[in-house]
Structure 1
Amino acid sequence: MSPRPKHTPGPQEMPEEPRSAQAENDREPADELVEDTDECSAEEVSGETISISQSAVRFVEGQQVEVKQTIALSIQAEEMEVVQSGAAIIRADEANVMQGGAWGMLANELNVEQGGSQWMIAREVNMKQSGALVMLGGRINASNSGAVLMLGRHIEGQVKTVLSQEAAIGFGAALGAVLGLFLVLRRLLGGR
């Protein structure tokens, strides 16, 4: 048997090179829909209406932003939809987060379903099956959700908290007293 010759693909058979999101989306403002449905990464995406899917982006800024299965450092928008995505900071007038999370969420109206955050700060928070370390809001409506510390003017729904408002104030006062005592002892013992 003779050895089989190697097949070299012709120009029509060559696989397409992955497009560079850096070149297409990096710091380019868009007047129309900016859409990226392929897996890619970019520094900054900005425009009026933005839809990003399965990507990694540092900064996203626009009027209407939709991200799906994406990770970002910062997302800022008037209206935002975040689905199965994560970000360090989310800032919006109205943010809807579904099965997503962020270190910090800041909004006038924040709607979270099956999501979580270290910090949720909003005038109005609506959450279902979600959680936060610290939640601050004017009006908080929660269903089957929890937080370590929750502070708000009006709190409604099924909420589990580790610390109540009174307990948080007491904890803060006790922690302040202990730290103050350590500082006094340190100065008395000759430390700076």
Structure 2
Amino acid sequence: MKTLLQLNTSLFSEQGQSTRLAQRFVEIWRTLNSENSVIVRDLAKDPAPHLTAERFQAFLAPAEERSTEQQAVVAYSDGLIDELRRADVIVLGLPMYNFGVPSTLKAYFDHVARVDVTFRYAENGPVGLLADKPVYVLATRGGAYRGTSKDTQTLYVQDFFNFLGISDIRFVYAEGLNLGPERQHASLAEAEAQIGRLAA
């Protein structure tokens, strides 16, 4: 049995285009083996708190010296990391907001990047501590930015997962969704066709 972690980051939760594409991937993936399990983390319904100095200090404090509040902060982070570790496959629904990733995704990233937990510093730089696994990123954009300087998402998401030790990252783009109904329909249809091939 395999486990898939579905990360939804759209402000519109299940109604977001990126979430719908992620859900389509999961539906196809589950048909291959009904015993597969899916963990859904919806960052619109249950957003990760933005990182503060207090939360960051909780991560750095020795376990035996943490206050009750710090223990709760670390336990929350540990739970997110445990989901990443358990997952054999990650599916990330990724809308573009103002040329960047949703702030809730950045907050989530800040809680799963933990020194000596998901990465460590070595002589030649940081080393990721998570096992490699496929990450499918379903990127939806109102405009068309792939391959341009305005696409700040692709490299950032690749770099972050690489930082944790995950290098198998595959993008499906649905762009131009605000450039008229014909463009939207064609872009979503092409994305769904790609999803069908990848999920199977």
TM-score of the pair, normalised by structure 2: 0.23
TM-score of the pair, normalised by structure 1: 0.24
- Radius of gyration: which is bigger? 1
Higher strand share: 1
Greater relative contact order: 1 or 2 (C-alpha under 8 angstroms, separation 6 or more)? 2
